[in-house]
């Protein structure tokens, strides 16, 4: 059990860390001062969740690895995040859509995890569920305004939908480890969250004048460590300090 | 040669480029005043202003800008253009007549001890 739970926790922790890092790349570059505060807020919510998840994963593994070792000292093939979260920020349309797609999945996920048989999971879920609800609202309002905005913003929003929607399927994929945890009532069944995701996104797309395209060939591979080229650059930046100064702490 | 600032209605006129940018910004993302209520039972207090496209975005920006450290339980946002302010030039006639009228302060009553702190 502990191996399956450890791996399933890495899937979760890596999703939050990598998305959090991506969002943090906007820090100091957002188009408005107000948004320059909002983006790091969201990034820190995600990174904060990953810290709790890694700490627990380290305990479950029982080999003395802490959050820093799990976050910073693995090779790219050892990261189990879905491909969606590592996609580059590109523009505001891509960034906000990525955030919406992810939080529209994680909000019902944490909601379901509130009735986990595992007390630590229930604790992590209780904090994260409120943060995800806010991320849906914040990213959703931007998607609506860009989708139903100017000619340029609508065009960019449509391009983001075309490009990012094939990555959504991987959120619902159950690895053997995740399945084992779901069977034991520790972590939620990802498959079962499809209807809620569809409803959240459909409500927003309806107002944003966007359509969800049919995906024939979903992009998969992150959960098994097969990442895109961009992931290497992301990790180089993310891991630099710990690699250059091993064991350094603040 | 020093040039005196160009004045228009008593206001210094800004260089054209900057003025255009500011005009564009205040048109697309107008200014909002933010009021936060720190606790139940207290009133909303003005705490700053921000730019946002509409009232929904203004509320979210206010949440992200002014309540990051648990400052509040409730937020109001008001379009800055809806606020009418008293004229500083009229400060003397507005406020000074109240200064020397001590009898307007309720300090001439003996408060019975049973009342306690008021």
Domain spans in chain A, listed from the N-terminal domain onward: 2-244
Cα–Cα dist B55/B94, whole Å: 33
Q: What DSSP string describes A173-211?
A: ---HHHHHHHHTTSS--GGGGHHHHHHHHHHHHHHHT--
Q: B6: which DSSP letter?
A: P
A41 touching B (Cβ < 8 Å)? yes
Interchain CB distance below 8 Å, B29 and A141: no
Residue spans of the domains in chain B: they are 23-109
Q: Is residue A71 within 8 Å of A235, Cβ to Cβ?
A: no
- What is the pLDDT confidence band of residue B105, given thresholds at 50, 70 and 90? confident
Separation in Å, CA B50 to CA A16, A28, B63? 30, 17, 11
Q: What DSSP string describes A124-161?
A: HHHHHHHHHHHHHHHHHHHHHHHHTS-HHHHHHHHHHH
What's the pTM? 0.85
Interchain CB distance below 8 Å, A35 and B61: yes
A62 three-class SS: coil
Tens of each residue's pLDDT in chain A, 250 residues: 599 999 999 999 999 999 999 999 999 998 888 899 999 999 999 999 999 999 999 999 999 999 999 999 999 999 999 999 999 999 999 999 999 999 999 999 999 999 999 999 999 999 999 999 999 999 999 999 999 999 999 999 999 999 999 999 999 999 999 999 999 999 999 999 999 999 999 999 999 999 999 999 999 999 999 999 999 999 999 999 999 998 887 7
A38 touching B (Cβ < 8 Å)? yes
**Contacting residues of A for B50, CB less than 8 Å apart:** 33-34
Answer yes or no: is pLDDT of B10 > 70: no
Q: Which residue of A has its CA nearest to B58?
A: A34
Interchain CB distance below 8 Å, B50 and A33: yes
- What is the pLDDT confidence band of residue B109, given thresholds at 50, 70 and 90? confident
Q: Which fold has domain A2-244?
A: Ferritin (1.20.1260)
A115 touching B (Cβ < 8 Å)? no
Q: A87: which DSSP letter?
A: S
Q: Is residue A121 within 8 Å of A35, Cβ to Cβ?
A: no
Say how many CB pairs under 8 Å bridge A and B.
Answer: 31
Answer yes or no: is pLDDT of B3 > 60: no
A32: nearest CB among B29, B56, B68: B29
SS3 content of chain B, % helix, strand, coil (to 5): 40, 20, 40
A141 touching B (Cβ < 8 Å)? yes
Interchain CB distance below 8 Å, A137 and B65: no
Q: Which fold has domain B23-109?
A: Ubiquitin-like (UB roll) (3.10.20)
% residues pLDDT > 90 (chain B)? 45
Cα–Cα dist A232/A58, whole Å: 24
B64: nearest CB among A37, A141, A145: A37
**Contacting residues of B for A37, CB less than 8 Å apart:** 61, 64-65, 68
B65: nearest CB among A37, A141, A145: A37
pLDDT score at B6: 47
Higher pLDDT among residues B110 and B20, named by residue: B110
Cα–Cα dist A221/A223, whole Å: 6
**CB contact burial A14-29 (16+ within 10 A = b; e otherwise):** bbbbbbbbbbbebeee
Interchain CB distance below 8 Å, A137 and B51: no
Kindly report the nearest CA distance between residue B87 and chain A, in angstroms: 30
Interchain CB distance below 8 Å, B68 and A37: yes
B7 three-class SS: strand
pLDDT score at A92: 95
């Amino acid at each position: 059990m502990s191996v399956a739970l450890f791996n399933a926790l890495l899937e979760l922790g890596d999703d939050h860390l990598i998305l959090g890092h991506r969002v943090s790349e906007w820090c100091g570059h957002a188009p408005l001062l107000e948004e320059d505060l909002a983006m790091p807020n969201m990034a820190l919510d995600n990174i904060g969740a990953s810290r709790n998840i890694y700490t627990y994963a380290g305990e479950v593994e029982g080999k003395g690895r802490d959050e820093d070792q799990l976050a910073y000292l693995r090779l790219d093939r050892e990261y189990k995040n879905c491909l969606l979260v590592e996609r580059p920020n590109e523009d505001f349309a891509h960034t906000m859509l990525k955030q919406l797609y992810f939080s529209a999945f994680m909000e019902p996920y944490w909601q379901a995890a509130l009735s986990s048989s595992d007390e630590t999971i229930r604790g992590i879920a209780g904090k994260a569920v409120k943060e995800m609800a806010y991320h849906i609202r914040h990213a959703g309002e931007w998607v609506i305004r860009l989708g139903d905005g100017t000619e340029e913003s609508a065009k960019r929003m449509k391009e983001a939908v075309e490009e990012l929607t094939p990555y959504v399927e991987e959120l619902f994929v159950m690895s053997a480890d995740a399945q084992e945890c779901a069977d034991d009532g520790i972590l939620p069944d990802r498959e079962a969250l499809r209807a809620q995701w569809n409803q959240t996104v459909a409500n927003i797309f309806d107002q944003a004048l966007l359509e969800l395209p049919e995906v024939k060939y979903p992009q998969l591979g992150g959960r098994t460590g097969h990442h895109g080229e961009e992931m290497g650059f992301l990790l180089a930046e993310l891991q630099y300090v710990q690699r250059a100064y091993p064991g350094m702490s603040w | 040669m020093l040039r005196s600032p160009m004045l228009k209605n008593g206001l210094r006129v800004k260089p054209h480029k900057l003025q255009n940018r500011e005009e564009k910004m205040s048109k697309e993302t107008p200014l909002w005043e933010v009021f936060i209520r720190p606790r139940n039972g207290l009133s909303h207090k003005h705490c700053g202003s921000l730019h946002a496209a509409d009232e929904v975005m203004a509320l979210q920006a206010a949440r992200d800008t002014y309540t990051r450290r648990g400052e509040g339980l409730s937020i109001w946002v008001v379009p800055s253009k809806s606020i009418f302010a008293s004229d500083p030039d009229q400060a003397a006639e507005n406020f000074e007549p109240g200064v020397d009228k001590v009898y307007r302060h309720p300090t001439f009553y003996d408060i019975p001890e049973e009342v306690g702190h008021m």
